[in-house]
Structure 1
Amino acid sequence: MIRSLRLRLAIGASVAICLVLLVVWLSLSRLFTDYVAGRYRAEMATLVDTVAAQVRVRNGELVLPRAPADPRLSLPAGGRYWQLNRDGGTPLRSRSLWDTVIDADRPSAPHHLGFLEAEGPDGAPILVYRQALTLGEGADARQFAVTAGFARSELDDALSAFHGRIRLMLLATAVVLAGAAFLQGALGLLPLVRLRERAARVRSGEEKDFGLAGPREVQPLVSEINLLLAERATALAQARARASDLAHGLKTPLTVLAQLAEGLPKHQRDIALEQVDLVRQRADRQLQAARMGVERMATTLLADLGNKLVSVLRPVTAERDVVWEVDIDPSISLDVDPADLAECLGNLLDNAAKWARARIRLSAEVVDGRVRITVGDDGPGVAEGDREQAMRRGGHSANAAPGHASGNGLGLAISADIAEAYGATMSLGQSALGGLEVALIFDVGGGSRRPRDPT
């Protein structure tokens, strides 16, 4: 099945052009052939009439006192011939026939374009026109036949010259029509190209819908897409409303639980407050997942976002004299919502800030057509056997540094979920600085967001 509209139009136009030009070729060839053959037939009929008009009866025989004056009739193989067949007498012939007698009375004589074919004085075929006539009336009537002929090569050469020119003309016509068909196809598909550009702007968040763009034939499709976008916007508003309701619904019970926990013994109070905080963070994570599933994407400059995140987190590590390094090409951009990418990288940088001893490095590069973002530190790292567990919600490393809590393990899980929602991958490894290195790999441009079930 041909999936390309451009190819379909090209094939259709090619078939139509070939059929039309074939019909034109056959029609013109037949018309010209009939016209040329008719002209020769008329000339031969005139020659027959001229010869017949000169026939006389002398001494009981048919004679021709004066032959037609055409010079071609006097030269041997001159190209024009006549012959007068008399009953019981030797045929009278033009000098151009020399000693050749036209034998056109044979039943099996070949025909060509309505003429009988015979052998000429030079051995080449000639085409002849024969007419039986009567001179006188009654008992004195004399029967005779006049044959006029011409060289077949004249007719064939005329037709060959015409066909050669008509072939060139039709070939030039085919080229012009093919160019016109290609231009028509390009112009006809141009509105679809514009619709694709409009779709890219809608996808990036620059436009809300397709408006009334496009020709009349695609307006039903555009209208349906606009309805889908409107339904999507409605779903977004409803999701945000439900998220807001959920946030307000949890806020009060969690506050009450936190206040009640203050009355518990210290050990129990710390556990209760930790659990309340864990519920709050998990609720925030579910709200974030719901937002990711419906929100539009926009293009984000990676270097600008990375520098902003580092500037926010640098004061957190100022007391420990941690050095931050940012190595990102300013031209690298991703079709990822800035809030999503900020949360994804923010969690990784916050995790690095928590565990780093003296250095943290944020870098990004394009490798094999994909954007690779890495966050590395010189902290204790994560053992290879614990890395998969560290990326799960609630998972944490056993390699906690002195003075640091192990944490609830949501940061890496949230970043992994955000990356997966955009078709990216996240992996943990050993940093060149000695600690943990987290690598995010996006397609160039970011690709299409994959909606996720927030639950």
Structure 2
Amino acid sequence: MRSLRLTLATGAVVAIGLVLLVLWLLLSRLFTDYVVGHYRSEMTAIVDTVAAQLALENGRITLEREPPDPRFALPAGGRYWQVSPVTGDVIRSRSLWDTIIPIDAGQSDHYESFAIAEGPDGEQILVQNQPLTLGEGPSTTRFVVQAAFARKELDDALGAFHGSLRQMLLATASVLAAAALLQGAIGLMPLRRLRERAALVRSGRERDFGTAGPSEVQPLVAEINLLLAERETAIERARARASDLAHGLKTPLTVLSSLAENLPSEDRALALQQVELIRQRADRQLQAARMGVEQMATTSVMSLGGKLVNVLRPVTGARGIDWDVDIDPALSIDVDPADLAECLGNLLDNAAKWARARIRLSAQADGASIVVAIEDDGPGIADSDRALLLRRGAQLPPQADGPAAGTGLGLAISADIAKAYGADLRLDRSPLGGLRAAVAFPAAVTPKRSRIPV
């Protein structure tokens, strides 16, 4: 189970369910014992009352006075008594009418010591039997006094209690579940604040997670702060090594350029081209190394795109090229401004080289992505050649009426930068007739760590 909130909620529901189940069984048992005990006491009192009014005359048992409860006088009145001697006639309450309660009525485990018999109205009654004797010596007479009541009366009492208990426990379960969910939400708030703090650190607005928060998460926060401090140290070391590499390459390349001037003309151009290629690739490696360690920042697409267009507009002005800019001013991307400038700048520079009369720069939100597109009305690129141009150093054969061939790094560099930020660079045919280069940046991105050693 990957969700901590779901794990806590499931644990709380299971715990609440078990506790309420135990509570249901305990209260049900206690109430049943109480009610059954109440009826047992009542039946014992009836037996004692009836037994106290019995007398022995000429070897026969007689009842001197009936119990005063009016329910005994009503047929199926709900309370019954019966005296069953071993020999002789049975004496019974009028409420039994013509029904005789059997002495050997079956016992019921559910109703504990009560036996079950059929009452005068066909409904079941619960009976308590009490064997007694009357007289002494040879004249001793044995008999059984029975007291009974309607089984439905006990069932209704237990059913009403269980119904109320069920509603109470369901209401309690709902309240406890809501309290558990609320407790989980409150308990996870520090993690939500840590996530918000992480977003601030990732965007470069904060250097670490600070020291605020409950004591339970402080060890985690301290370890994260140590990791951030170590990362900052690694950044400084990477920058220093990148700077040393840049200075270390500068002098040998300058020397090689000077030596190339002394070569024959047919070899000099090739040597200078290779030296320049080495310089550009070294710059690209340094850029990639920096991109892997820089902190992120939020960049306005409209602001940066406008600056890039203003730089290139004078270059294309002499050719009469029109620029269309369609960018929502509210769009921002969590990408370092320098990285975004290089990514889009290479694509705009490529469009400026090949466009005939029109270049369009647009940006729009598309679901969970922000798509920045550069289109031109130039000759475009064949479908079979588009994947090739995204490889570093790949070039197409020069066209007679086209600009001079470049180094073959521009599109590859843009693709590398886009990939580092979780974006995707796609080349398609533009409705304008030329190439459409679109970069789809995720709405929330985290730059991938560069694999280039620094």
TM-score by length of 1: 0.88
Given that 2:427 and 2:438 are in contact with CA atoms closer than 8 Å, whether structure 1 keeps it comes out as no
**Corresponding residue SS for 1:68:** coil
Name the structure 1 match of 2:233: 234
Name the structure 2 match of 1:440: 438
- Per-residue deviation at 1:372? 3.1
In the TM superposition, what are the counterparts of 1:52-201 in structure 2 within 5 Å? 52-104=51-103, 106=104, 108=106, 112-138=111-137, 141-201=140-200
Name the structure 1 match of 2:243: 244
Separation (CA, whole Å) in 1 of partners of 2:387 and 2:119 = 102
Given that 2:85 and 2:143 are in contact with CA atoms closer than 8 Å, whether structure 1 keeps it comes out as yes
Residues 145-200 of structure 1 show CA distances to partners (whole Å, capped at 9, x for unaligned) of 32222222221221122122212222222222222222222222232222222222
In the TM superposition, what are the counterparts of 1:8-407 in structure 2 within 5 Å? 8-104=7-103, 106=104, 108=106, 112-138=111-137, 141-261=140-260, 270-367=269-366, 369-379=368-378, 381-382=380-381, 387-399=386-398, 404-407=403-406
TM-score by length of 2: 0.88
Moved more, 242-251 or 292-301: 292-301
**Corresponding residue SS for 2:302:** helix
**Corresponding residue SS for 2:67:** coil
**Corresponding residue SS for 1:145:** strand
- Per-residue deviation at 1:269? 5.3
Name the structure 1 match of 2:452: 454
- Per-residue deviation at 1:142? 4.2
Given that 1:195 and 1:213 are in contact with CA atoms closer than 8 Å, whether structure 2 keeps it comes out as no
Name the structure 2 match of 1:413: 412
May I ask how many residue pairs the two structures share in their alignment? 452
Q: Which amino acid aligns with 2:451?
A: D
Separation (CA, whole Å) in 2 of partners of 1:425 and 1:197 = 26
Separation (CA, whole Å) in 1 of partners of 2:416 and 2:107 = 94
The percentage of aligned residue pairs carrying the same residue is 64
Given that 2:422 and 2:446 are in contact with CA atoms closer than 8 Å, whether structure 1 keeps it comes out as yes
- Per-residue deviation at 1:217? 3.6
Given that 1:422 and 1:446 are in contact with CA atoms closer than 8 Å, whether structure 2 keeps it comes out as no
- Per-residue deviation at 1:304? 1.1
Structure 1: any 5+ residue segments left out of the alignment? none
Change beyond 3 A, Cα 1:142–1:444: same
Residues 275-315 of structure 1 show CA distances to partners (whole Å, capped at 9, x for unaligned) of 43333222211100111122222222211110011112223
Change beyond 3 A, Cα 1:244–1:143: same
Separation (CA, whole Å) in 1 of partners of 2:212 and 2:357 = 56
**Corresponding residue SS for 1:420:** helix
Separation (CA, whole Å) in 2 of partners of 1:384 and 1:30 = 81
**Corresponding residue SS for 2:76:** coil
- Per-residue deviation at 1:236? 1.6
- Per-residue deviation at 1:137? 4.2
- Per-residue deviation at 1:73? 1.5
Change beyond 3 A, Cα 1:415–1:98: closer
Given that 2:124 and 2:151 are in contact with CA atoms closer than 8 Å, whether structure 1 keeps it comes out as yes
Q: Which amino acid aligns with 1:426?
A: L
Separation (CA, whole Å) in 1 of partners of 2:310 and 2:347 = 15
Change beyond 3 A, Cα 1:401–1:83: same
Change beyond 3 A, Cα 1:344–1:133: same
Separation (CA, whole Å) in 2 of partners of 1:95 and 1:361 = 107
